[in-house]
Amino acid sequence: MPLGRTWQVAAGSAAIGLAVAAGTAVAAGPWESGRRTAERTRAAALDRQRHPAPAAPAATAAPPPPLAAQVLAPVPAAAAPATGGSGPSAALPAALTARLDQLMAAPGLGHAPTGAVTDVASGRLLYGHGADTPGTPASVTKLATAVAALTALGPEHRLTTTVVRTAPDRVVLVGGGDPTLELTGLAADTAAALKAAGTTSVTLAYDTSYFAGPAQHPIGPNENLALVTALMVREGRLDGSSSGPATRADDPAKAAAVRFAALLRRHGVTVRGTPAPGSGKGGARLAAHGSAPLADLVERMLTNSDNDLAEALVRQTALATGRPATFAGGAAAVRAELARYGVPLTGAVFTDGSGLARADRLSPRTLAALLALAASPAHPQLRPVLTGLPVAAFTGTLTSRFTGGPGAGLVRAKTGTLTGVNTVAGTVLTRSGRLLAFSFMADDASSPADAQAALDALATALARS
């Protein structure tokens, strides 16, 4: 990547992150969640190359990084989203509005595409093109999943997998709904606990009761999603991949238990027979494994459009709000958590957490409101919704989009794609330093490539403004 473009990406990403974090830095203490580590490190390194700081006197605290000081000053902090507004700040310049209208008529977007643009600082709707018309959001549904999960559970929450002992020689691997689970450390801790108790031979069962209802998504078997179960290792993937489509285990829970048994044997514990389903209720805990914090999981879910994480998090949200960990329970939980913020939900339909279901419905106004909400200093717990958005021409599902254009590094957005459906929703920093949230949706696009190009042109027009 040329140095000039690298700087644009890093600085643009930094500007967006610092803009939304500015209003919360004082109240929340040192800001750690406004931009992911890799982006922060790159931006800081490039800044040091261009603005080497003089050595600070011995006993004098170092000044804040120049990049932070430069970006924080001109960009206002975001406010809680509003549902509308009037006056000069409630509209885009006439020329930009006309340009957006022209781009919305692109043949690649099919019949009656819709869109909305919101000013993040005020929460006002600046532009609407069928803004209240519900459409199929596809994977952009994950924005709603993320907001609901972070609200119900908090950004520091971890998904916990445990091993319990229900009899002197019987242990149970109890799933905690963590699709990112790795078993190496858990097996080592379990073996150590068993040996400390004088046990070197056991039978192994596995418990998936943490989740309920059908494990199969309504779309049926699909390489984009494993069975939704409370116990799996690395999303049930049978290859070395960490994202995207992959061949999955037919029974992810059993595969995880078989893998765990093999690891116990490596640590000198004999596992008799084949692991079988069983209950760990009432067992004494031997070991536990916690996932990465929920903030990190949300970022991963959005950056890679991770369907397995989305379906796991929507069930976790259901459980946290007293609902069954099912597709229906998760859908009800998401709606309830969003309603707490006053997010416009007219015509909204939730059926899953990933957006793979065509029955899902959200309007562009709703999606833009979710992004403005995540930028509000009143809700710092939602910041991973923004920091998890892919960066144009740089990360995740936007790596190969916006390349070579003015939107590179300045647009951050979640994409959604199903056959005939193309959606994009995110944030963009304008040339004047204004942070906008946007959502553009096409429900009957005939060419995915043409639809993506048309959607990218809309976001690029905002970046140019």
Going along the chain from its start, the domains and CATH numbers come out as: 3-72 (no CATH), 88-155+295-464 (3.40.710.10), 160-291 (3.50.80.20)
444 pLDDT exceeds 70? yes
70 pLDDT exceeds 60? no
Calpha distance 436→371 (Å, rounded) = 9
In the structure, what pLDDT confidence band is assigned to residue 81 with cuts at 50, 70 and 90?
A: very low
Q: Mind telling me the catalytic residues?
A: 139, 142, 305
Residues with Cβ within 8 Å of residue 61, at least 6 apart in sequence = none
- Which pLDDT score, from 0 to 100, does residue 358 have? 95
- Which pLDDT score, from 0 to 100, does residue 90 have? 54
> Do the Cβ atoms of 458 and 144 come closer than 8 Å?
no
Q: What is the mean pLDDT of residues 416-433?
A: 94
Calpha distance 427→463 (Å, rounded) = 10
Tell the residue number behind the tokens 């006056």, with chain if given: 87
DSSP output for 234-245: GGGBSSS-SSS-
Tell the residue number behind the tokens 């999603």, with chain if given: 225
Q: In the chain, how long is the greatest CA-to-CA distance?
A: 78
> Do the Cβ atoms of 34 and 383 come closer than 8 Å?
yes
Calpha distance 46→49 (Å, rounded) = 5
Name the strand (E) or helix (H) holding 418: strand 411-418
270-296 pLDDT, tens digit per residue, is 999 999 999 999 999 999 999 999 999
The CA dihedral of 46, 20, 416, 401, to the nearest 10 degrees, is -30
> Do the Cβ atoms of 149 and 309 come closer than 8 Å?
no
Q: What is the mean pLDDT of residues 252-260?
A: 98
The answer to pTM > 0.85 is: no
